[in-house]
Amino acid sequence: MRRWLALLVAATTSLVLVALLVPLGLLVRALAESGAVTQANSEAQSVAASVGTVDPDGLALTAERTSASSGHAISVFLPGGQVVGSPASRSPAVELAARGQSLTARTASGLEVLAAVQGLADGTAVVRVFLSEKDLRKGVREVWIGMLVLGLALIGVGILVADRLALALTRPMTGLARVSHRLAAGDLGARATPGGPVEVRDVGLALNHLAGRISDLLAEERETAADISHRLRTPLTGLRLEAESLTDPEEAARLGNRVDALERAVSSVITDVRRRSQEHASCDAVAVVAERVTFWSVLAEDQGRPVELDLPQGPLSVAVSAAELSACVDALLGNVFAHTPEGVSFTVRLTPAAAGDVRPAGPPGDVRAAPAASGGVRIEVADSGPGFGLAPEGASPLDRGLSSAGSTGLGLDIARRTAEASGGSLSLGTAPGGGAVVVLTLGAP
């Protein structure tokens, strides 16, 4: 906007200056020409006063002195045809002036100012003062250059003033855009400082009101979702008791599995609500991953699963809470235990994430893989099991609720949403031996 306003003011100022300076420049040229003609007439009259009073030699000396002082060529045409002063030919204008008429005539190279001197015994003499184009334009070029410099200076001042005014308008608008981007990124505490013109201040106040309203609505939605989720615990407990009271073991097991699946879904809703209510959380990924792998190592030892843990030295902070990261790691490791046979090994590797990290290629149709974030950490969970099963055509194992192994399909979705909330991503791949590889990238706080 600043550039467009500057261009607008420059164009407007240029048009005004052109409309003003062009006629003024022509007037200056006309005045210079008129002044040169007036001076030439004065010189001609001065020389004409000597005609008839001095001899030709004295008249020539007078013409030469006047010509030397003014810089103009002065010639005197006597009645007998003699020319005194600067050499010149008798032009038609001189012949006309010899009839007794003083005049000014334009020639190809300049201007002739002719003064007729009558009353001589032999006829009429003519005093000719020649003005070249340079004499007629004397001082005009300097004035035009001064006017051009003045015009450019005025345009520059106009652009500078327009830029300052535009800055006073665009600075608050830039602030509003910055606040809107922060709100879109999830920083619901961002507020604009109203400033600038009245209209821009009104927009800032409206944006602050909208941000407050969004915060209130989200808080209400979270409370409602959490309340509904917790209220579902009671009927779930009743369903579990009913399932356990069935006399048919197979029917009881089937109904129990359905209740477990529903309970996991409810737990996912509660976890998601809690996650969205925790803003700007962070934790040490090294400590959390080490603690969760140690927890699962007990079960891995019971099932004869070799576990390899690769952690870097020192803490690495990520933009998720310890509880969220624990739930995410539990979901990934839980999938390993749930979908691979006992005795299958797995590896957990934690490394600092860098811009341009190359992740393993996902399965065909996986369009959810996003570029790795700069900073943060990269968590890789790999196993030597059968890998990801065949998903329906056009679908991905990352799709919410989709699983080729008969589970709820929410584990990977929870991990993905946790990663994306921190500014990272989740991708799937295949290990060299055919097992599954899950790469979780978490952004830095």
From 209, 225, 241, the end of a domain falls on 225
From 98, 123, 138, the end of a domain falls on 138
Instruction: Characterize the bridge pairing of strands 73-77 and 83-85.
Output: antiparallel
Residue 397: inside a domain: yes
Residue 396: inside a domain: yes
Range(s) of the domain holding residue 338: 281-442
Domain harbouring 429, CATH code: 3.30.565.10
Q: How many domains does the chain have?
A: 3
Domain harbouring 131, CATH code: 3.30.450.20
Q: Are residues 109 and 154 in the same domain?
A: no
Q: Are residues 132 and 152 in the same domain?
A: no
Q: Are residues 288 and 437 in the same domain?
A: yes
Alpha helices in 122-193 (DSSP H): 133-136, 140-184
From 118, 138, 158, the end of a domain falls on 138
Q: Are residues 120 and 209 in the same domain?
A: no
Please state the separation of Cα 372 from the chain's center in Å: 24
Q: Are residues 105 and 219 in the same domain?
A: no
Q: Are residues 118 and 167 in the same domain?
A: no
Distance in angstroms (rounded) separating the CA atoms of residues 438 and 429: 6
Give, for all 445 residues of the chain, the pLDDT tens digit: 778 888 888 888 889 989 998 999 999 999 999 999 999 999 989 888 888 788 888 888 988 898 888 888 999 998 888 888 888 888 899 889 888 888 999 988 889 999 999 888 788 899 999 999 888 898 899 999 999 999 999 999 988 888 888 888 888 888 888 888 888 887 878 888 888 888 888 988 998 999 888 888 887 877 776 666 666 766 777 777 777 777 788 887 888 777 777 777 777 666 666 555 555 578 899 999 999 999 999 889 988 999 999 999 888 889 888 888 888 898 899 888 888 889 999 999 999 986 544 343 333 333 333 333 346 899 999 998 887 765 555 445 555 445 544 444 567 887 888 888 888 889 888 888 778 899 999 988 7
pTM, entire model? 0.47
Q: Are residues 146 and 24 in the same domain?
A: no
Residue 260: inside a domain: no
Q: Are residues 35 and 88 in the same domain?
A: yes
Q: Are residues 41 and 167 in the same domain?
A: no
Q: Are residues 131 and 146 in the same domain?
A: no
Distance in angstroms (rounded) separating the CA atoms of residues 148 and 142: 10
Residue 183: inside a domain: yes
Strand partners, 188: none
Q: How far is CA 205 from CA 170, 208, 210, 211, in A?
A: 16, 5, 9, 10
Residue 262: inside a domain: no
Cβ atoms of residues 179 and 18 within 8 Å: no
Residue 237: inside a domain: no
Residue 204: inside a domain: yes
Q: Are residues 177 and 85 in the same domain?
A: no
Amino acid at 344: V
Distance in angstroms (rounded) separating the CA atoms of residues 83 and 340: 126
Cβ atoms of residues 353 and 377 within 8 Å: yes
Residue 174: inside a domain: yes
At a CB cut-off of 8 Å and minimum separation 6, what does 71 contact?
Answer: 135
Task: Please give the span between the terminal C-alpha atoms of the chain, in angstroms, as a whole number.
Answer: 34
Q: Are residues 336 and 396 in the same domain?
A: yes
Distance in angstroms (rounded) separating the CA atoms of residues 83 and 90: 9
